[in-house]
Amino acid sequence: MLTRTLNISTSPHIAKGISTDVIMQNVVWALVPATLFAAYSFGISAVLVISVSVISCVLTEHFLCKFSKKGSTISDWSAVITGLLLGLTLPPIFPLWMTFCGGVIAIALGKFVFGGLGYNVFNPALVGRAVLQAAFPVAITTWYPAFLENRFTSVATSLTALPFMQPTFDGTSGATPLSAFKFDHITANTSDLALGLVSGSTGETCAALIFLGGLYLIARNMMNWRIPVAILGSVFVFSGVLYLFDSQVYPSPVFMIFSGGLMLGAMFMATDMVGSPITSLGVVIYGVFIGVLVVVIRIWGGLPEGVMYAILLGNALSPQIDKMIKPRVYGTANHKK
């Protein structure tokens, strides 16, 4: 006789077994198309920058876990994601020793000092890049055009610069679309921006592939869709109002959406589950704040790009948003004092 046991337990009940490492793996898969396109666009140099970034993040996390006498957490894939995102935000000719330092800083300062995965206040990859931008402003703002003929047969001389030595950059250089607009009032073609046919960081050029990667995570219910919608929507509306006011001075909202690191930041950095609010209204406020700040920095700031600073400030504001907007407990009235 077949008998069945009915297990009765209190809530919460696990409906679907999606662990942290499974989510992290899917984020890596979502970043693969943009990473492969970066390798195709910039060649061996981009591959080396991204590889060193990932390796430095993984080694740093493993070493810090062993140093603190904890089990290694590199199997949860979070360090790989940090390395990928950091590498994708760097120029393809960024010196490798600086790249390695950025990976160490991203994990040690941006993640480990807060207690590790789930406790970091700021996006670790952006913490690493922010320190690199402050420490090496020339190297991190030196760009090469995409699709050079010798990109698969040679590497940029700046990559192999010795530690703490001034890197030597090759003669060929190119401005990013945001820099060209900021300082020369030249806007790039929209299709070139969407397809990644412009200069820029290794992973911020092809906005279409980044967008598709984000859609994959949204379809798998592994990303809060409200955050990228709020960021991109607020950038589009705010820049659109400025464009209607004076199209000769301000760029079109389509240019603002597809240029720079906005798509990568909106899809893969601002959506960090730890650094973003937990309520639906909270993430909308968070996204609008980031989007408006991006436009303000790009238009009136001293730098051509503002995504990094906007997201970091949004991360800092996130706990306050959660504190101000608390969900009502089910079955209770919403009394105001």
Q: 9 CB contacts (<8 Å, ≥6 apart)?
A: none
User: What is the end-to-end Cα distance of the chain in Å, rounded?
Assistant: 62
Quickly state the pLDDT bin for 82 (edges 50, 70, 90). very high
What is the maximal distance between C-alpha atoms in the chain? 83
Give me the pLDDT at residue 335, please.
Answer: 54
Give the tens place of pLDDT for each residue, 211-261.
999 999 999 989 999 999 999 999 999 999 999 999 888 989 999 998 888
The yes-or-no verdict on residue 28 having pLDDT over 70 is yes
More confident residue, 218 or 167: 218
Out of 6-10, 66-70, 108-112, least confident range: 6-10
Give the tens place of pLDDT for each residue, 267-296.
999 999 888 998 999 999 999 999 999 999
Most confident of 108-112, 156-160, 201-205, 330-334: 108-112
The yes-or-no verdict on residue 2 having pLDDT over 60 is no
Give me the pLDDT at residue 115, please.
Answer: 83
The yes-or-no verdict on residue 265 having pLDDT over 70 is yes
Give me the pLDDT at residue 173, please.
Answer: 57
C-alpha to C-alpha distance for 9 and 104, rounded to whole angstroms: 44
Across the chain, mean pLDDT equals: 86
Region 25-37: what's the mean pLDDT? Answer: 94
Q: What are the φ/ψ torsions at residue 23 (nearest 5 degrees)?
A: -60, -45
Give me the pLDDT at residue 75, please.
Answer: 87
Give me the pLDDT at residue 3, please.
Answer: 59
How do the domains of the chain map onto residue ranges? 21-174, 177-323
Quickly state the pLDDT bin for 52 (edges 50, 70, 90). very high
Q: 45 CB contacts (<8 Å, ≥6 apart)?
A: 92, 93, 144, 151, 155, 156, 159
Give me the pLDDT at residue 101, please.
Answer: 96
The yes-or-no verdict on residue 56 having pLDDT over 80 is yes
For residue 66, the tally of other CB atoms under 10 A from its CB is 11
More confident residue, 153 or 131: 131
Give me the pLDDT at residue 202, please.
Answer: 86
Give me the pLDDT at residue 334, please.
Answer: 58
Give me the pLDDT at residue 227, please.
Answer: 96
Give me the pLDDT at residue 225, please.
Answer: 94
Give the tens place of pLDDT for each residue, 170-220.
655 566 777 777 776 777 777 777 777 777 788 877 888 999 999 999 999
